[in-house]
Structure 1
């Protein structure tokens, strides 16, 4: 799929409002379900899974995250989201462009539809947003999607679930992104997680977006289930490798407790040992190594042919459509 770059021209930091645009959707009425009898007009909410990432490139880990299901059942719709303004990363000269990333995201969306594991895989959209933080994205998305539904004479509540990797979860609960203030962090996250006001009630300081987080572990043994009680003083001392995890886990538990929020606001899932360690940077390095001439690595004592053989594993870290896109457009070389 090819995307005209003019689709991105108006969406630049500080340009216009609203700073959100759906670039591609599986059908014109997204996020409403495809089946007429599943339209949210007869119920009080529509549940949307949001996978927000840099997609540089999309990998099988992204696919596994987007293909996951709700603990209580399926989602009504799914959204692959690219931010043109990242809190940590700036687009550098020579980087894969936003247009190319969006085109790869559309290929991933088609792969999701082919998987056909969930009805919501046939109700997916690709979008861009000019907002660097999850708290800001939650508020903006919820507002604009409710407006879109109201334009179709539908009035359901919009319930967003952001699915992410553990590194991103760590950043969500890092005071660095809240002016280094734990108080400001807790206040912002209260607005993110707290339930929205009931229909007809007045909005107060306790109401929020009602968004939630689902996080993928790197391995089944690496991170505790957040629904479990926090470790107490009678627990055996953690190993050195567990200390950072438990420290971060304690921060999340402390926040949820102090804000009187259920532990289900942050849930952990396993996406499978065959994909949990896959990263976009591995794919980029693999493509680059494959494009370089075979040389003998004296430092590592590895023959160039062996290096080249290993580099070809990048093709096993992405879906077939994304693989073809990378090759056809000579990316990451």
Structure 2
């Protein structure tokens, strides 16, 4: 033995066996070679933002998680990062939004909360032609329903708090890539900045991945049942769910997703009606977050996406977002129907 000679795990910020097992697990699920896990999804996003670097420009979809928008617009924009918010449902819009300093494209698909779809393969093809890296937030789909790396993406990011954990008892983020150089740089940033999870949290997400497939199948089935109730309901102006043939991006969803997921959004005539519905459900719990076994309902304009108010990413005031859980589909339909009757 000698000072400076590495003999294995030496400090848990750098790595520990449980965390390493989870990182290998998530990399395998995404079809990647390198996985890294973080203390939260926002910590994973921040690591990528640091990797993009000062002075660089990133193209971002024009509908995305409010926490991601807040991080980009309220934090990193003031640290000499530049962001353009572009409708990536139209691949041609990407071509018109690439200044010379652009380094990467950030895609959510489906987006949060409008459930807009981007064609990952086509966006990746066009981005790579300009020398750009493509990052896909795959949180809404999970690796079970969508494989961005196989479609051409360079980096996949997750909030493991959601479907990967699946039980509302852990907060974590993850990044997966096949690019060894990117992975090495991200690990350096991760170790330097220190936004890492503890081994118990890593264990909880490892446990969650064991039931991911059966949970996602039930989320999908229950979401379809809820959509069946909403479509044609006199109080509902619009239902947003990728399975619907008239949903924008339905063809992209059918091409790149194995099923359509457990997230459903719908629009009512006013903010007052939306607030009334989310306050009256009983089985759907009024709460932020998503992806766990219990069903949640929320009002994005006042909750998850309040930070986007007044921006180009502001969401409609009558929008309601649901994370459909794995309870009885009949009970979920009855609960939502009762709440809608109150308006």
**Same fold flag (TM > 0.5):** no
Structure with higher Rg: it is 1
User: Could you tell me the TM-score, scaled by structure 2's length?
Assistant: 0.31
Question: What's the TM-score, normalizing by structure 1?
Answer: 0.31
